[in-house]
A = this chain, B = another copy of it.
Amino acid sequence: MTRFSFELHATDGRARTGKITMQRGEICTPAFMPVGTAATVKAMKPEGVRAIGADIILGNTYHLMLRPGAERVARLGGLHNFMNWDRPILTDSGGYQVMSLSELRKLTEKGVEFRSHIDGSKHMLTPERSMEIQRLLGSDIVMCFDECPRADRPRDEIAASMELSMRWAKRSRDGFDRGEEHASRSALFGIQQGALDEDLRRESAQKLTDIGFDGYAVGGLAVGEGQEAMFGVLDYAPEMLPQDRPRYLMGVGKPDDLVGAVERGIDMFDCVLPTRSGRNGQAFTWNGPINLRNARFAEDQEPLDPTSDCSASRDYSKAYLHHLHKSHEILGAMLLTEHNLSFYQALMQKMREAISEKHLSEFAREFRRNYLGD
C-alpha cells in the first residue's frame, strides 16, 4: 500500500489541484484541515466532520502531550482510535504552541523547556521528543519541530532562528526515521522559515530540500504581519519548494486568505477560525461574515444558506441561531461550527473545480466581489 503519494491533476497559473494518497485515505487538494486541538474538533462529532467533507483533521502535539498525554494515547490505541476518527490526521510539532501558550519557557539548542499552562508541570520538547510524541499519537502527517519567531524581529534574530529550525529539521528527520514501523506508514513535512525575508526563505527552502521531506510547509506566517505582507511572501515562497510535493500554509486563515493563497500555489491549510468563530456567533457566508448575536437577526427567518447540503446551514433560521447564541446554548456552537466548516469545505471544493476548469482567477474575482464587497 502507498505510504504517501501526491498527484497533481491540474494547474491554473500558480494554483494546483491534486490528491494525496495515504493508507488511511485520500486528501483532495487544495485541502482545508479542521483543527481538533484536544482530540476533538470542538462541538462536532467525528461523523459530522466527515459528513461536511473533511478528508483530514489536525491534532495539536502541545495540548495532547499535556492532556491526556502521548503515552496514555498510545496505550489507548492511538489518536485515531481514541477520538473515533479513522481518516488521516496531521499533527503539528508543538513548537508554535509551546512558544505562545506555555509558561516560563527556556529555549536552547537542545529544545524548549517549559511549564504546562494547565497545571504548571515541567516539560521538555526537543525535535526528538516531538517526533516521539507524534509517533505515539499515531500521526499520519508529522511536522518537524521548529521555532517560529515574530515576523517583526530584527533580521539577525530571524536568520538565527531559521538556522536553528533547519538544524532541528535535520534532527526531526533523523528522529522520525528511527521510528521505522511508524515511518513506514506516515509522512514527514519540513517547515520553511525566514519570516518576510526572501533570501532567508530561499536558504530555508534549500536546506529543507537537501534533507528531503514528503511535503513542505510555509511556516512563520499568519502571526500578525497582515494579509498584504503574507501574500507578498506567498508571491515567492511556495515556488522555492519542490513542485511535486504538497505545500502547506500553517494556521491560515480567513476565507479570502485561502483564496489568495491557493492562487499563489498553496495546497493545504488549517485554522481554528471556522470552529472558534462558530462558538462566538460568527458565521461565514458568500456575502461575508456576519455575527448572529446582532439584534438585526432576531426575526430573520432565512437560513444561512438555503442551497447548502449541510443541514446546519439550510434547516435553521438566523432568528433561531440568534436565539441560541443569545441564550448561550450549546446547540448554537454546534450548528455554527458545522455551518462554518461546511462553508470552508465548499470553498475548497469550488476552488478545486475552478482550477480543474482553468478559471480560478474568475472564481476568485467573483468570490472577492461578493465576500469582501471589492
Contact = CB atoms under 8 A, between A and B. Distances in A.
A38 B322 CA distance: 12
Complex copy number for this chain? 2
Interface range, A side: 35 or more
B40 A331 contact: yes
A319 B72 CA distance: 10
A45 interface: yes
A370 B37 CA distance: 38
B82 A324 contact: no
A271 interface: no
Interface string A285-307: 00000000000001101000000
Contacts of A324: 39-40
B72 A299 contact: yes
Interface stretch (A167-175, A239-247, A310-318): A310-318
A334 B45 contact: yes
A68 B82 CA distance: 39
A84 B40 contact: no
Nearest to A324: B40
Contacts of A315: 84
Interface string A330-353: 110111000000000000000000
A301 B68 contact: no
A84 B320 contact: yes
B67 A323 contact: yes
A316 B320 CA distance: 31
Contact of A330 (B47, B84, B326, B333): B333
A222 interface: no
Given A76-B319, A82-B317, A84-B320, A331 B68 contact: no
Q: What are the 9 tightest A-B residue pairs by CB atom distance, in nearest-first order?
A: A43-B330, A40-B331, A68-B323, A38-B327, A40-B329, A84-B315, A76-B319, A82-B320, A84-B316
6 contacts: A45-B331, A67-B326, A67-B327, A72-B298, A82-B320, A330-B333
Interface of A: 38-40, 42-45, 47, 67-68, 72, 75-77, 82-84, 279, 298-299, 301, 311, 315-317, 319-320, 323-324, 326-327, 329-331, 333-335
Given A40-B324, A84-B315, A84-B316, 8 more contacts: A42-B329, A42-B331, A45-B331, A67-B327, A75-B299, A76-B319, A77-B301, A330-B330
